[in-house]
Chains A and B, each alone.
Chain A
């Protein structure tokens, strides 16, 4: 079945550690890729997005993601996490189907950063 997979459901890191969250999708053809973040008690916010062009995308708060088409992956990275990065992170794929764009989300990764 077509899906978006996030392999790490829970990640615990110490401050200043490096972060990489995996995301793989199984859709063929042209897709748009996103990472969203949901801080505790807040609504979903866009971290970064990839539509085309440079496969290394830089987003807000020092996050970046790399689109590797051959691996159907869009992994999220941050060189040095902070306590304030504690949140849930969602990868999403957007495809144009039947005249509209449909977002398919992964199951999310809960990140806890220890001070």
Chain B
């Protein structure tokens, strides 16, 4: 069966520090991969999606970037965190209509 792993579960980082969140999927190949952010009172916002290795589409202009160095690995990064980057980040994968979500990372920028 397919599983999705996302880490770390929680993270507290100072403003201006770099960020790297990792997501890996097991039990499938060539999945579509997604990064979402859940900010307080704003629901789930699609940040990036990828249909294959090295293919990244950005949904909103922001301080973050994403990379897909391997088929089942999706990384969310920032060179310098802002206070406004705080939130709950979710990774997801799908083949077709239904998506499956990781446990999420709660990021607090202080």
Mark A residues whose CB is within 8 Å of B: 6, 9, 32, 34, 36, 43-44, 46, 49, 51, 90, 92, 94, 98-108
Contacts and interface: CB of A to CB of B under 8 A. Distances in A.
A60 B102 CA distance: 20
Chain B contact residues, majority secondary structure? strand
Interface string B21-65: 000000000001010100001111110010100000100000000
B51 A103 contact: no
Contact of B41 (A100, A106, A107): A107
A9 B98 contact: no
Contacts, number: 53
21 contacts: A34-B98, A43-B104, A44-B101, A44-B104, A49-B98, A90-B43, A90-B44, A94-B97, A94-B98, A100-B49, A101-B32, A101-B94, A101-B96, A101-B99, A102-B46, A102-B49, A103-B36, A103-B94, A105-B36, A105-B45, A108-B44
Report, as a range, how many residues of chain B touch the other chain. Answer: 20 to 34
B43 A106 contact: yes
A44 B51 contact: no
A44 B43 contact: no
B46 A103 contact: yes
